[in-house]
Amino acid sequence: MKTQQSLLNGLMVGVFLICFAVGAVLMPGQIFAQPVVDDFNDNVKNKVLWGPDIRVGKGVVTERNHRLEYTVSTPGRSEDYAIRDLIASQGTYTENWEVQIDAFNGTRTSGSKGSSVGMEIFRCDNRADYEVYGELYAASGGKTFYGEIWSPDGWDEVQTADLSGNLPLKSSIRISFDSTTKVITLDYDTGGGWIQFGSFGISAAGGGDDYNLDWSMGDSDQFCIDVYGWSEDMIIGSGKIYADNFQATGVTAPVATRVLQPDGVAPVPANDLCPVSWEAPLVATQFKLEYSMDNGATWKAMVPGLIPGRSYDWQVPVPPINKRNCLVKITGYNQDGVKIGKDLSAPFTIEVASITAPVEGEVVPKGPAGYNVGWITNGLFPKMSSAQVFYTLGSTGIWKKAAGAMVDPFSNFNWDVPSPARPIEAKLKVVFKDASGNKVATAISSVFRIE
């Protein structure tokens, strides 16, 4: 199986494994009776469950004929493969879970030619160092169930179950985890029930019938799982290798990339540190953060490059006026730079200045007794030097000066309220200027009543 070992070693240093990849991970303490499933019968990729396809060489995965097929039209390199990331489910070190899929390998191999379809489990935060895989493998005119374990301590312990002949073979493959013993078990079923062909312990305490390697996992660590296929120097037509009827039990509902904050409920003060937060599948380990101040027409980087984590304190820019319909966009990538998913925040306002009194619907007494107009500004000091106050009555749209001269922008303004003949709706506007008289920001109140 040296060809398989070289392929997987290549994957561990960033060259992806064979075809249909999935990331399955469970949140601690959350188990749902309903499994996460995809029977591929609609021949359309479920984008909630599956991420983008990745191709190396001439390998392709396509949902057709009510299954997920792997094909190679012309061998492009010694190893052709394609990947599809399942971003749906998440598995934890403290709960039992299992994942299974039907596999079919109808290739006829000879010499150096080979092919396989199977599943792999690995630490979501360290795919390069920790994995167990099991597969239906075809090479040298025969078929075998094959399993192996890898950690920084070593890459060893092949487990096989030989199958007779090189005839087309359809089977089911299952990988399960026992959270008490910390043992991963590999099984296959060709129609007569599940048969174990390997079990591997992954804790320092040992365990597993076949081998043990310490994966250095704790209660907060989680697993991801690949379902894959692969070929070497082979033309593979439709229906020769495919996967079908994916099912994961003991898992949470799908988790997609989703912006949590800002949520659009409250304005975001300009020049402030705004906490941006999001959730995403664990296979998404790095993120691009962008913002827009024109409802998505243009985007700017919130931070250069990609960052890890699930939160970031954003230094909000200072636009010349309050900006409505601002957006935050989060795009997630796995450790190999492949996009996993993206999401936009709810629209929000970046607030440079706002009038705090009067508030919407407030009744302001008319007459020269005066009303204390209040405002706040964000990020305008030290540019701001003076302010001009205006008001408008009814629906005229005509703004009149509330004071004959500029006023102090750092304190409230006592307004001699006009005395209309009858109660009327009104609004206030404050224009903030610098020492040269240039406008630096504008704030407009909500509608209030004068009576």
- Secondary structure of 333-371 in HEC code, one letter for each residue: ECCCCCEEEEEECCCEEEECEEEEECCCCCEECCEEEEE
> Dmax over Cα atoms in the chain, in whole Å?
101
**What 3-state DSSP class applies to 30?**
coil
Q: Give whole-number Cα distances, 54 to 59, 83, 165, in Å.
A: 9, 5, 32
Rounded to 5°, the CA angle 279-280-284 comes to 140
Give the whole-angstrom CA distance, residue 11 versus residue 3.
Answer: 13
Check if the beta carbon of residue 340 is closer than 8 Å to that of residue 51. yes
245: left (phi over 0), alpha (psi -120 to 50) or beta: left
Per-residue pLDDT tens digits for 338-378: 787 899 999 999 999 999 999 999 999 999 888 999 999 99
Note the pTM of the prediction, 2 decimals. Answer: 0.59
Per-residue pLDDT tens digits for 255-280: 678 999 999 999 999 999 999 999 88
Positions of the chain with pLDDT under 50: 1-33
Q: Where in the chain is the domain with CATH 2.60.40.10?
A: 258-351, 353-450
Q: Which fold has domain 353-450?
A: Immunoglobulin-like (2.60.40)
Give the whole-angstrom CA distance, residue 183 versus residue 160.
Answer: 18
- Secondary structure of 110-150 in HEC code, one letter for each residue: CCCCEEEEEEEEEECCCCCCCEEEEEEEEECCEEEEEEEEE
Give the whole-angstrom CA distance, residue 53 versus residue 39.
Answer: 18
Give kind and range of the element (H or E) at residue 329: strand 323-333
Give kind and range of the element (H or E) at residue 11: helix 2-12
For the chain, how big is the Rg over CA atoms in Å?
31
CATH architecture of 258-351: Sandwich (2.60)
Phi, psi of 5 (to 5 degrees): -65, -45
Q: What is the pLDDT of residue 111?
A: 82
Q: Is 101 exposed, middle or buried (0-12, 13-18, 19+ CB in 10 A)?
A: buried
User: Tell me, what amino acid is at 37?
Assistant: V
Residue with tokens 């026992």: 178
Q: Where in the chain is the domain with CATH 2.60.120.200?
A: 2-249
Check if the beta carbon of residue 418 is closer than 8 Å to that of residue 366. yes
| β-strand pairing of 24-25 with 131-139 | unpaired
Q: How many CB atoms lie within 10 A of CB 359?
A: 11
In 434-443, which positions are buried (b, 16+ CB within 10 angstroms) versus exposed (e)? eeeeeebbbb
Q: Give whole-number Cα distances, 401 to 415, 444, 451, in Å.
A: 10, 14, 19
Residue ranges of alpha helices (H) inside 216-289 are none
Q: What is the pLDDT of residue 47?
A: 72
Q: Which fold has domain 2-249?
A: Jelly Rolls (2.60.120)
